[in-house]
Amino acid sequence: MTESKVPDIIIGRMPMYLRALTRMAEEGKTITSSQELGTRLGLSSAQIRKDLSQFGEFGKQGTGYNIDFLAEQIRRILKVDGLWEVALIGIGHLGTAIANYGGFVDRGFQVAALFDNQPDIIGKQIGRLTVQPMQTMVEEIRHKKIRIAMITVPAKVAQQVADACIEAGVRSILCFAPTSITTPKGVRVEYSDPVLHLQRMTYYLQS
């Protein structure tokens, strides 16, 4: 009966809180407050307390929040206290940069398989991984029980690659191609398109 669903918009802010807490810990801090977190993130302290209260009581009146403790709770809530294997499809410039990126593992993710369909890219070695041909993708994702894919292919083929990923069992897709893709219920998509962010800012610039 207290089973009310946490709003998506709050789930969307939790990773920001986790990131800020991680930075604070790196800076050697051990305690923070909703006020301090809010200032860092440009949010009100009330909003941060309200958001966190959706999941439990993590603070102490008069003192604030223990940074390590709160970070650990948020990791547990978001289920990033383990390590998710992620498939990466499209090993061009961007895909290569992502495959080489060292910042995934300590935030809960590991690139576990690379795919492309270009003959000159297949077989390429990146770290401990070898780029595999697209034809093997569905079987490989299914076999490894991978649930998350990052798609860095051209916009034109993003939908069909996404479809294949979903067929193979993927349930979360991070799409880097500048296009929207449609997915059946139960499959989430998020988009990472830097140009979208740039275009959001030019409106406010005086040309």
- Binding interface with DNA (CB under 7 A): 7-10, 33-35, 43-47, 49-50, 52-53, 57-65
Return the closest-CA partner of residue 88 out of 80, 96, 77, 78: 96
Question: Residue 49's binding partner, choosing from DNA, its own copies, none, with beta-carbon cut-off 5 to 8 A by kind?
Answer: DNA
Q: Which stretch binds its own copies (CB under 8 A): 45-53, 64-72, 131-139, 176-184?
A: 176-184
* CA angle 46–79–164, rounded 5-degree value: 120
CA distance 49 to 145: 37
In this complex, which beta carbon is closest to its own copies, that of residue 1 or of residue 201? Answer: 201
Residue with tokens 């307390």: 49
Written as six digits, the tokens of 101 are 């990126």
In this complex, which beta carbon is closest to DNA, that of residue 12 or of residue 127? Answer: 12
Written as six digits, the tokens of 113 are 């398989």
User: Where in 95-114 is the site for its own copies (CB under 8 A)?
Assistant: 96-98, 100-101, 103-104, 107-109
CA distance 24 to 151: 32
State the minimum distance, in angstroms, from the CB of residue 83 to its own copies. 11
State the minimum distance, in angstroms, from the CB of residue 15 to its own copies. 4
SS3 68: helix
State the minimum distance, in angstroms, from the CB of residue 13 to DNA. 8
Return the closest-CA partner of residue 191 out of 171, 175, 168, 207: 175
Count CB neighbours of 127 within 10 A.
Answer: 10
Question: Residue 194's binding partner, choosing from DNA, its own copies, none, with beta-carbon cut-off 5 to 8 A by kind?
Answer: its own copies
Question: Residue 202's binding partner, choosing from DNA, its own copies, none, with beta-carbon cut-off 5 to 8 A by kind?
Answer: its own copies
In this complex, which beta carbon is closest to DNA, that of residue 50 or of residue 142? Answer: 50
Taking only Cα atoms into account, the Rg of the chain, rounded to an integer number of angstroms, comes to 20
Question: Residue 50's binding partner, choosing from DNA, its own copies, none, with beta-carbon cut-off 5 to 8 A by kind?
Answer: DNA
Written as six digits, the tokens of 127 are 């770290």
Q: How many CA atoms lie within 13 A of 72 on its CB side?
A: 7
Chain residues in the site for its own copies (CB under 8 A): 11-12, 14-16, 18-20, 23, 40-42, 77-80, 82, 84, 86, 93-94, 96-98, 100-101, 103-104, 107-109, 147-148, 150, 155, 171-172, 174, 176, 178-180, 182, 188, 190-205, 207
